[in-house]
Amino acid sequence: MSKLLEVPVIDIARFRFGDAEDRRAVAREVDRACTDIGFLIIDGHGVDPGLIERTRAVSREFFDLPEAEKRRVARPGVDVSRGYTGLEDESVARSRDATATQGDLNESLMIGPVDRPDEAYATAPAAGQHFAPNIWPERPAALRPVWTEYYRAMGDLAATIMRIFALALDLDEDYFDDKIDKHISRLRLRNYPAQAQAPKPGQIRAGAHSDYGSLTILCTEDKPGGLQVCNAEGEWVDVPIVPGTFIINIGDLMERWSNDRWVSTLHRVVNPPAGAGGAARRQSIVFFHNPNYDARIECLPNCTREGEAPRYPVTTSGDHLRSMFVTTQNTATAAETEA
Ligand SMILES: O=C(O)CCC(=O)C(=O)O
Ligand SMILES: [Fe+2]
């Protein structure tokens, strides 16, 4: 079978409601997508469209606030992945290329877990800042309850996808359950403003990067200046926007777990064409699903071929994520926290 060079659409209702054969059929399709291109679009996910709309609306209201008010909930430190990150404060491309310093042309607001596991686990030294309290803006007042509901819905959807992943990797369907039951996922809204001035040379909405965790669930909109992924031929292809679906990609931790059987694909968000005007404003709802901070990320059973050794040293979810957060921030606090 030739390699997929475009991102496929997969209906996961057949997994959610089907019999064992249906479930295996979905898992096979997902395995092919994760092997060939690292991205898939899912339909039949069961998330309430009203919740998505409400999440979009309260977030847009937040980004429309004056800059000074948004800065009141500024990210407190580079390893504290919470709060507001301003335009050009981050260069996600630095996660792969230390010389990439152009600031990304988006601003964002981010939260972590909304449900705390027991206090001893949440505050253990190895927990680092992964259970740091969330920083909620005062306005709009509806943001907190709506985002909390959305975060929980994404946690549930990610758990289903991890079950599909387990089956796709020839593991028991519940293999990942106890590695994600205290997940340290992040919900991040990115606002990509319309571009009144030309970007600096080489500067784009989000530089080329791969995501860091287990998987990402993206809900975006069809606007000029969108998401592209680098396929197996090294070509940048647009990810189609299919109404009612989510875009899913695997992150670096899943790539490591699978010993490179699956690919954590490079992707980027390009600029709108000059003159696109206000219509180019774009908002993405991004849920980065990350395993429990103490989940050991080591080559999974079934992921080495005859005579092949594991390609990565063992790490933990918490350690890997922290190093990525610290590497990609352009703010003044970066130097302080790294020291
Ligand atoms: O906005 C998008 O389409 C993608 C954003 C992204 O890649 C990220 O936040 O990691
Ligand atoms: Fe990404």
Q: How crowded is residue 68: how many other Cβ atoms within 10 Å of its Cβ?
A: 7
- H-assigned helices in the chain: 13-17, 20-36, 49-63, 67-71, 119-123, 143-168, 252-257, 317-327, 333-338
324 lines ligand 1 (CB under 6 A): no
Ligand 1 probe mutation, 267, 321, 324, most atoms within 8 A of CB: 267
Angle between helices 143-168 and 49-63 (to 10 degrees): 130
**Confidence band, pLDDT 50/70/90 cuts, at residue 327:** confident
Asked whether the whole model's pTM tops 0.80, one would answer yes
190 lines ligand 1 (CB under 6 A): yes
| pLDDT of the residue at 98 | 85
ipTM at complex level: 0.99
Computed over its alpha carbons, how large is the radius of gyration of the chain?
A: 19
Contact 184, 117 (CB under 8 A): no
Look over the chain and give the mean of its residue pLDDT values, rounded to a whole number. 94
Distance from the CA of 185 to the center of ligand 1, in angstroms? 15
| pLDDT of the residue at 330 | 76
CA separation for the pair 62, 58 (Å, rounded): 6
pLDDT tens for residues 51-94? 999 999 999 999 999 999 999 999 998 889 999 999 999 999 98
191 lines ligand 1 (CB under 6 A): no
Distance from the CA of 166 to the center of ligand 2, in angstroms? 22
Distance from the CA of 67 to the center of ligand 2, in angstroms? 24
